[in-house]
A and B are shown apart, each in its own frame.
Chain A
Amino acid sequence: MTQEMVDKIKNNPKYQKLVSSRSSFAWTLTIIMLVVYYAYILLIAFAPEILGAKMGSGMTTVGIPVGIAIIVFSFAMTGIYVKRANGEFDDLLKEVKKEIEGEMK
């Protein structure tokens, strides 16, 4: 990649929009994931009795639905990201590529 092309792409407004919106989206989702997981881990470390509390009169503890929910949540998060990235972001990327190709000709 030539320096000229690097500068062109870097200064392309659509490219800037793509990079900033995708990275803020990715970081937001990452932080949510980290918060959810470490909240769970810290709960295990400092207050295991919360997860060990029985739900109602049976044997099932709070920790069981919480654990299963984290698994389902993780999958849902990947779905949310892939949907937006493979749709909106990839469309934007296509436009960026088209503009750059036009400029380089």
Chain B
Amino acid sequence: MFGKVLSLFMLASAALLASGDIAGGTKAEQLNIPAIVMFFIFVAGTLLITYWAAKRTKSAKDFYTAGGGITGTQNGTAIAGDYMSAASFLGITGMVYLKGYDGLIFSIGFLVGWPVILFMISEQLRNLGKYTFADVTAYRLQQKQIRILAALGSLSVVILYLIAQMVGAGKLIEILFGLDYEYAVVLVGVLMVAYVAFGGMLATTWVQIIKAVLLLAGTTFMSIMVMAKFGFSFEELFTAATKVHSKGEAIMSPGGLVSDPVSAISLGIALMFGTAGLPHILMRFFTVSDAKEARKSVFVATGLIGYFYVLTFIMGFGAIVLVLGDHSGAGGISQYWDTATNALKGENNMAAVWLAHAVGGDYFLGFISAVAFATILAVVSGLTLAGASAISHDLYANAFAKEGVKVSEEKEMSVSRYATFGIGVAAIFFGIAFEKQNIAFVVALAFTIAASANFPVLFMSIFWKKLTTRGAVLGGYIGLISALVLVILGPVVWSEIIHADSLKAAVDAVKATGADAAAIAAAKAQFIKDTAIIPYKFPAVFSVPLAFIAIWFFSVTDSSADAARCEAEFDAQDIRCQTGIGADGAVDH
């Protein structure tokens, strides 16, 4: 069965690539043979792993957590892989390329959540949970309501994050492989469904580990090549970059990205606590055997992620000098510049990819393209698994199971596979719908929701004795809804998506006056600012405290019998949380 499916995928993808070559025509770039060859090697390799993993994925525990047999180092590498997404690799490098120092602010925000996860929730998750983080939040609270809340929180984050990944994938493949955007998105969707539906967590983990190693190797090489051109002197690299960049020396300082204090703090809250609320990351703590390995995972992950962010900073500055400052194109302008759109070919997120060409030629461009594609595939697989688990484990097997009836493992697993397919279809649909959005901001929105809806409930359920079901449910929904509403009313969704037509009209009006690029950009920024009802891209500074206050308020005012029960059961939960007694082996809640 799997062999057939495998060959079908290979055929289908070959056909897609071929048709892209013809249909792509003027829109897409020419076919990149080294990239395609390397990508096919990766796909073939990962499908073989999926085949191997599929034979070992028999129980629900295998499917959700790879049987709990992943080591701390492997899991840490896979966590790093989950985190070093296309949004990080392409988005952060692109942001450094575009804004300089501001890119580093983002990187640091993404990283500092990790130590806090280690100190506060990693071993607690391992000791209390089974398959999803809702196992922890629902440990002593009412299963049904808590699991519905957790599933909604998880699915919102998964879908938003998937949008970012799919958009990155589509653009990348369109440019690098000569395949149309829509076909590229479909190809990614089909492959991720194959990994997850057949190989479960085991395949997802190994795809993630392989990709993390490839990505770290590729980016290390690229950074060394950049530094070698400047005699391994940061000073020379920065000096050269300030000469080339239109913002000049301003790229060396915090700039417009976080322009006011509220935005800066809100960004910090979203990134730090958002990491601790990402369902695909939280799920990874259930793949290791005990608390010791869970801790080791975070140590390895933090080291690899931190190292990677230092590299993105070097690559971003390298791209300013070597990509933007290139003179080998027609008329002495950069060969990576698209004169028709007056922007970088494929826009700013392609900075890392063009840098690969600038330092390593066609073959290295091919390698990095294949790695970037692999990155997207690995991350979307992890997300899809987390989303499918929320549907099958939290909703189907627990929240909506008939009272007193235990859902069979076979049934739960088959539901998880249908859910995987459903999420695949949704990802493809959204990937196409969101083609034109900035992918780094879409990820930031996912973080806001994770920080406002998932994290507060998880944190309070572990640490606060007096938490009641009512408090957790109302607080969680208030966090989720306020995050969603504030994001929708914010500048990205409200001004740039909902009012896209009037934005375009406003920009065109300025263009018609013959204004220069800076004036057009200023007019665009002004329109976005004026139109947005909430002027903050990251509303976490409002939604996170709101969620915590609501959880507290609706818990302390809860005098129901259930509230007393929740409090009485805290001691047993806390002992298991502290010691892991009862967490080993088969655990049923």
Contacts and interface: CB of A to CB of B under 8 A. Distances in A.
A90 B579 CA distance: 9
A15 B471 CA distance: 30
B309 A71 contact: yes
Contacts of A93: 579-580
B302 A75 contact: yes
Interface string B290-316: 011001101100110010011001000
Interface in A3-58: 3, 6, 9-10, 15, 18-19, 22, 26-27, 29-30, 33-34, 36-38, 40-42, 44-46, 48-49, 51-52, 54, 58
A74 B578 contact: no
Interface residues of B, number: 55
A38 B249 CA distance: 25
**Interface hub of B115, B264, B296, B306 (most chain A Cβ within 10 A):** B115
B571 A10 contact: yes
Interface in B107-164: 107-109, 111-112, 114-116, 118-120, 123
Contact of A61 (B253, B571, B575): B253
Contacts of A48: 253-255
B310 A71 contact: yes
Contact of B108 (A26, A37, A61): A37
Contacts of A1: 572, 575-576, 581-582
Given A67-B108, A90-B292, A52 B254 contact: yes
A51 B119 CA distance: 29
Contact of B119 (A18, A26, A41, A54): A26
Nearest to B296: A82
Interface in A46-105: 46, 48-49, 51-52, 54, 58-61, 63-64, 67-68, 70-72, 74-75, 77-79, 81-82, 85-86, 90, 93, 96-97, 100
A71 B260 contact: no
A68 B234 CA distance: 13
Contacts of A59: 235, 238-239, 242, 249, 252
A59 B291 CA distance: 46
B306 A19 contact: no
Given A10-B575, A38-B268, A63-B101, A78 B108 contact: no
Given A58-B239, A63-B253, A82 B112 contact: no
Contact of A58 (B105, B107, B235, B572): B235
A100 B576 CA distance: 13
Nearest to A93: B579
Contact of A63 (B252, B265, B268): B252
Contacts of A60: 234-235, 238, 252
A74 B264 contact: no
B258 interface: yes
B457 interface: no
Nearest to A32: B115
B92 interface: no
Interface string B69-92: 000000000000000000000000
Given A33-B115, A61-B252, A78-B298, 10 more contacts: A15-B578, A37-B268, A44-B105, A44-B254, A45-B264, A48-B253, A63-B254, A79-B299, A86-B296, A90-B291
Kindly list the 8 A-B residue pairs having the minimum CB-CB distance in the complex, ordered from nearest. Answer: A52-B253, A45-B261, A45-B264, A59-B238, A48-B254, A26-B119, A41-B268, A71-B306
